[in-house]
A and B are shown apart, each in its own frame.
Chain A
Amino acid sequence: DAKTTQPPSMDCAEGRAANLPCNHSTISGNEYVYWYRQIHSQGPQYIIHGLKNNETNEMASLIITEDRKSSTLILPHATLRDTAVYYCIVRVWRNFGNEKLTFGTGTRLTIIP
């Protein structure tokens, strides 16, 4: 699976949009981009995933560049509860569901009151 690069930490003011970048320049055509987050002392939580189109759900939006070499996770109106470590993961779609995700060090997002 392709490697990802994320900034180690970011701050965002409460109520503003938090934009978390991820670089995956070696991504191949059949690899999906996944985002998870981990709030302190809890298990990671799935946020969103996509292949090449932009995606939106109730938690966030995912913007993938046209060349797919980078993506941005957008939390539209950040709250204090969004303070967490955010993981960007690239994963090949496999014929049989078996989610062997490789987590990196992620981005520690701190929401400032």
Chain B
Amino acid sequence: ETGVTQTPRHLVMGMTNKKSLKCEQHLGHNAMYWYKQSAKKPLELMFVYNFKEQTENNSVPSRFSPECPNSSHLFLHLHTLQPEDSALYLCASSPGQVRSTNEKLFFGSGTQLSVL
């Protein structure tokens, strides 16, 4: 148990559906992240939030829309996805402390998404 919980664990959706992925962290961290991991590919950073403010958008298509209502919750809203968007979507958090040399990422177990 890492303290980062993602729901759902599995999701199957059609290309016209709208769905949301949820991430919650119980670690008191200030930074939260979305990563995408396609089959047999390295993890790709998608979005970074610090203190609820988006600080990184790694050229992610607009059909992926993140939302961070507070430092403990992170959502990824999905709309009109393509089959190539099928992947494991991982949420992570880190303390986000100023001048810290001990920043570590804590990952959730991910949502395995299949787009049909």
Contacts and interface: CB of A to CB of B under 8 A. Distances in A.
Interface of A: 32, 36, 41-46, 49, 51, 93, 95-106
A8 to B, nearest CB: 11
Contacts of A42: 107, 109-110
Interface of B: 2, 4, 30-31, 33, 42-43, 45, 48, 50, 55-56, 88, 90-92, 94-101, 103-110, 112
B95 A43 contact: no
Main secondary structure of the interface of A (DSSP, over half): loop
A45 to B, nearest CB: 7
B88 A100 contact: no
A41 B48 CA distance: 22
B110 A98 contact: no
Contacts of A96: 50, 96, 98-99
Contacts of A44: 43, 90, 105, 107
B56 A100 contact: yes
Nearest to B95: A97
B2 A105 contact: no
Contact of B106 (A46, A51, A95): A46
